[in-house]
């Protein structure tokens, strides 16, 4: 790509690529680069990206040299760096390239996803269902990391839950809503006359998603004779996940984190009533028309039962869900919000 560009660095759920692509479609140079070719855990979701710095299993010296080469090229052409839960040079507790970028007056902003900035002691104090045990060593490591990078990155953009962990460290924290490319999603509202709905759950991490509680509720409902089909699938590409979502009537995402992630947004974009646990103290921080069906390990049985038995309710929540995503999470909406943020922090493009 010729000329200056905005760098979207990282590969959180594939959204940095979607942002870069939509910016290009608007005539604004942007590329998405990720650290390595690969995925988290045992998954291979085939998340899209424009460039990868190195590959899995390369020698440490080769990786380091490739990181330096990428950084050198980037410094010549980059007009802004948006970090998405990643960094170019991997040194614990440090953003090595931050000093250089700051000296060159290149604006920087960082977004967080999943557990990369979640402080366990704070999460456990607010969430009785949180999936991690106390881990002071991990909390200390995250605090050191936030303290270190905020010397160079003055701004962050993240969701309302992550904001409470990181706000003490940054000059300003903007609200960032996970983007969805609606053209990639097949929207099918649950049939109002369907007496045997499909309930779907696609866990990345069973323990974090609360999968065992979902399975227990499913077995209890089957024993009661309710008519429904349960599908739990893993090892899918992102495209396959979207195809499967289109075929279900109820999507169960996660019960233990306390806030919704991008998968819940994708399920809502597919027109599905989507079950996720959102903490009571966070509900008011989302838009007032959020249609998430709130459930935790103690309530998942009753919440599922109500949706399984009421086809009309499934249909209505499905329509509300799609409308909500179109209003707040559509890629065009998110990119417009990001451009305002970029200009506020010094982007001159």
Considering the domain architecture, whether residues 15 and 129 belong to the same structural domain is answered as: yes
- Residue 199 resides in a domain: yes
pLDDT on residue 58:
83
Q: Compute CA distances 153 → 76, 80, 96, 103, 159, whole Å.
A: 19, 11, 12, 12, 17
**151 in the same domain as 292:** no
In a domain, 138, yes or no: yes
Task: Looking at the structure, tell me whether residues 251 and 233 fall in a common domain.
Answer: yes
- Does the pLDDT of residue 40 top 50, yes or no? no
12 and 158 belong to one structural domain: yes
Residue 69 in domain = yes
Q: Is residue 234 part of a domain?
A: yes
Residue 270 DSSP class: T
- Give the lowest-confidence range in 71-75, 117-121, 282-286: 71-75
pLDDT score of 92 more than 60: no
Look up the CATH number of the domain holding residue 320.
3.40.50.2000
Average pLDDT over residues 130-145: 94
pLDDT for 87: 73
Please indicate, yes or no, whether residues 155 and 233 belong to a single structural domain of this protein. no
Is 158 in the same domain as 246? Answer: no
Do 205 and 275 sit in the same domain of this protein?
A: yes
What pLDDT, on the 0 to 100 scale, is given for residue 1? 45
Q: How far is CA 84 from CA 11, 72, 88, 118, 294, in A?
A: 7, 20, 11, 15, 27
Q: Residue 36: give the domain boundaries.
A: 5-179+330-344
User: Is residue 45 domain-resident?
Assistant: yes
Query: In terms of domains, do 275 and 304 share one?
Result: yes
Closest CA to 279 of 164, 188, 156: 164
Calculate mean pLDDT across residues 72-83: 93
pLDDT category at 334 given cuts 50, 70, 90 is very high
Specify the pLDDT at position 164: 95
Inform me whether the pLDDT recorded for 106 exceeds 90: yes
The answer on pLDDT for 22 being more than 80 is: yes
Pair (228, 132) in one structural domain: no
Q: Please state, rounded to an integer, the average pLDDT across all residues of the chain.
A: 92
Rounded-to-integer distance, Cα 122 and Cα 144, Å: 16
pLDDT 10s digits, 301-313: 999 999 999 999 9
Rounded to the nearest 10°, the torsion over CA 197, 199, 200, 203 is: 180
Residue 349 domain-assigned (yes or no): no
| 38 and 75 share one domain | yes
**One domain for residues 260 and 162:** no
Whether residue 266 lies inside any domain: the answer is yes
In the chain, the number of structural domains is 2
Do 204 and 165 belong together in one domain? no
**pTM score:** 0.92
DSSP for 185-253 reads SPP-PPPTT-SSPEEEE--SSHHHHTHHHHHHHHHHHHHTT---EEEE--S--HHHHHHHHHT-SEEE-
User: 233 lies in a domain?
Assistant: yes
Phi and psi, residue 196, nearest 5°: -135, 80
Give the mean pLDDT of 134-156.
Answer: 94
Average pLDDT over residues 224-229: 98
Q: Which contacts of 25-33 are long-range, i.e. CB under 8 A and separated by 24 or more positions?
A: 26/335, 28/339, 28/349, 29/1, 29/3, 29/4, 29/5, 29/79, 29/349, 30/5, 30/6, 31/1, 31/5, 31/6, 31/7, 32/7, 32/8, 33/7, 33/8, 33/9, 33/70, 33/74
The percent of residues in the chain predicted with pLDDT above 70, rounded, is 95
């Amino acid at each position: 790509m010729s000329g200056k560009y905005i760098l979207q660095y990282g590969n959180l759920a594939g959204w940095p690529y979607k942002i870069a692509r939509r910016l290009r479609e608007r005539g604004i140079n942007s590329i998405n680069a990720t650290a390595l070719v690969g995925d988290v855990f045992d998954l291979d979701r085939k998340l899209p990206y424009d460039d990868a710095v190195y590959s899995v299993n390369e020698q440490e010296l080769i990786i380091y040299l490739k990181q330096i080469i990428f950084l050198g090229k980037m410094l010549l052409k980059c007009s802004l760096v948006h970090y998405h839960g990643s960094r170019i040079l991997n040194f614990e507790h440090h953003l090595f390239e931050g000093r250089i970028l700051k000296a060159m007056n290149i604006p920087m902003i960082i977004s967080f996803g999943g557990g990369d900035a979640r402080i366990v002691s704070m999460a456990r104090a607010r969430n009785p269902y949180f999936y991690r045990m106390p881990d002071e060593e991990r909390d200390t490591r995250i605090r050191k990391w936030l303290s270190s990078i905020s010397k160079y990155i003055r701004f962050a953009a993240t969701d309302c839950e992550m904001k409470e962990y990181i706000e003490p460290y940054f000059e300003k924290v903007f609200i960032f809503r996970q983007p969805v490319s609606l053209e990639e999603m097949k929207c099918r509202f649950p049939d109002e006359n369907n007496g045997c709905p499909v309930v779907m759950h696609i866990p990345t991490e069973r323990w974090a998603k609360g999968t065992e509680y979902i399975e227990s509720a499913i077995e209890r409902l089957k024993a009661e004779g309710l008519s429904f089909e349960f599908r739990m699938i893993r090892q899918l590409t992102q495209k396959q996940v979207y195809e499967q979502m289109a075929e279900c009537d109820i999507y169960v995402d996660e019960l233990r984190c306390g806030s919704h992630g991008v998968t819940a947004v994708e399920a809502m974009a597919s027109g599905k009533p989507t079950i996720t646990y959102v903490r009571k103290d966070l509900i008011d921080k989302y838009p007032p028309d959020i249609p998430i069906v709130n459930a935790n390990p103690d309530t998942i049985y009753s919440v599922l039962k109500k949706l399984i038995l009421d086809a009309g309710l499934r249909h209505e929540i499905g329509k509300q869900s799609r409308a909500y995503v179109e209003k707040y999470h559509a890629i065009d909406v998110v990119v417009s919000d990001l451009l305002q943020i970029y200009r506020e922090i010094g982007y001159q493009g």
